[in-house]
Amino acid sequence: MTHFIVPPHLLRRIAALDEESAGPAPTAARRALREIDDLHRFRVAAAKEPTVRPRSAVAARSPGLLAPSRRISDAQCTESLPGVLVRAEGQDPTGDPAVDEAYEHLGDTYRYFAEVHGRDSMDGLGMPLPATVHYGVRYENAFWDGTRMVFGDGDGVIFNRFTASLSVVAHELVHGMTQFVTQLSYHGQAGAIHESVSDVFGALVEQYSRSQTAGQAHWLIGAELFTPRVSGAAIRSMAAPGTAYDDERLGRDPQPATMDGYLDTEEDSGGVHLNSGIPNHAFYRAAVALGGYVWEHVGRVWYDTVTVADLPSDCSFSLFAEATRTAAERRFGSGSAVTSAVEQAWDEVGVRLPGRSQVLS
């Protein structure tokens, strides 16, 4: 299943701007938007007959023995995949920023999961990490297509090249992990959880690579994406959803931070990139309440929840919240500071935790 980092509401604004300035020519934004619209129709149909994905096991080898297998290809400004292989695992930098950034950021993501969670790649079984750069002409998106990462170069007006952002690379790659370990559908609250999990681990990978505490991190997703011409810090903010950008051309970040602002819509597969701000903010609030290195406490709770909990395909925010509380109790204890912080964070964003249930197997 394909997952894009730039959501439809942003692409629609960009496509409208392109139409005003360039006429009816099929711009990169409109091509990307068409792809997302086609995927939305596919996902709506697929949601009626959910499929069960096999759950992968976490590798049992020592983290010190784990190593990534990266293969970076160049689409050479076409939209043909995979492109020409230009850098494989262990090879020297090429001097092409997009190639070398993709290589390094895939390695950063791999190292986080190996060193913190003992996980051998996204499937837990050492799957290779292929990526393609220079996809399309001025292509304004990056995506995980179910087997590989794909990066556009941006238009240089609104977006920089997408390989520049570690949180974006990690976000998209984590969609791969989520597809292996959960049955979450990509629609409504379950889809928003899917998106939020990618944002959570995108932030964690970045913080781990920079040795940042909760208080030192900026909690932005895609902080490197916008050019200086855009009035905005990133495409999303976990600390303050709804404030990531406020630009005359792009509009204002529409993400809600709490259930009071929940958006009931069929756009964007039921608002998956919009309402993900709510679980994002819950994670942020729990993290900053505890402080220190987030991957040592709340990050472990979220990882346990995703990889161990038997989440239903139509999982709601409240069921996911209960699963995180159960995971916190299992790992840190029912009366622990971590469990209390998780419970309080969900309460602060307006998600009611149901009665205790056997969510974890």
Contact 173, 107 (CB under 8 A): no
**Is the confidence at residue 352, as pLDDT, over 50?**
yes
The residue among 163, 172, 135 whose CA lies nearest residue 3 is 172
The residue among 11, 122, 101 whose CA lies nearest residue 59 is 122
Tokens representing 279 are 């679980």
* pLDDT number for residue 42: 43
Tokens representing 62 are 């020592």
**Is the confidence at residue 28, as pLDDT, over 60?**
no
**Is the confidence at residue 41, as pLDDT, over 70?**
no
Q: Where are the domain boundaries for CATH 1.10.390.10 in the chain?
A: 188-348
The residue among 169, 191, 66, 168 whose CA lies nearest residue 124 is 66
* pLDDT tens, residue by residue, 119-160: 999 999 999 999 999 999 989 899 998 889 999 999 899 999
Range of lowest pLDDT (7-11, 166-170, 188-192): 7-11
129, β-bridge pairs: 70
**Is the confidence at residue 197, as pLDDT, over 90?**
yes
Rg of the chain over CA atoms, in angstroms? 19
Q: Where are the domain boundaries for CATH 3.10.170.10 in the chain?
A: 3-181
* pLDDT tens, residue by residue, 300-328: 999 999 999 889 999 999 999 999 999 99
pLDDT band at 60 (very low <50, low <70, confident <90, very high): very low
Tokens representing 222 are 């895609």
* pLDDT number for residue 39: 52
**Is the confidence at residue 52, as pLDDT, over 70?**
no
Question: What CATH topology corresponds to 188-348?
Answer: Neutral Protease; domain 2 (1.10.390)
* pLDDT number for residue 8: 86
* pLDDT number for residue 16: 80
* pLDDT number for residue 104: 98
* pLDDT number for residue 51: 39
Average pLDDT, the chain: 88
Q: Identify the three-state secondary structure at position 174.
A: helix
Beta-carbon contacts of residue 139 (< 8 Å; ≥ 6 apart): 28, 31, 32, 79, 152, 153, 154
**Is the confidence at residue 255, as pLDDT, over 50?**
yes
**Count of helix runs (H) and strand runs (E) in the chain:** 10, 10
Q: The domain at 3-181 falls in which architecture?
A: Roll (3.10)
Range of lowest pLDDT (45-49, 225-229, 331-335): 45-49
For the annotated catalytic residues, the residue numbers are: 172, 273
* pLDDT tens, residue by residue, 84-123: 999 999 999 999 999 999 999 999 999 999 999 999 999 9
- Pick 15 or 204 by higher pLDDT: 204
Range of lowest pLDDT (53-67, 196-210, 289-303): 53-67
* pLDDT number for residue 356: 46
**Is the confidence at residue 15, as pLDDT, over 90?**
no
HSE-up of 80 (CA within 13 Å, CB side)?
5
* pLDDT number for residue 58: 41
**Is the confidence at residue 283, as pLDDT, over 50?**
yes
**Is the confidence at residue 189, as pLDDT, over 70?**
yes
pTM of the predicted protein model: 0.89
The residue among 93, 225, 203 whose CA lies nearest residue 152 is 225
Q: Dihedral of the CA atoms 204, 208, 214, 220 (nearest 10)?
A: -50
* pLDDT tens, residue by residue, 213-251: 999 999 999 999 999 999 999 999 999 999 999 999 899
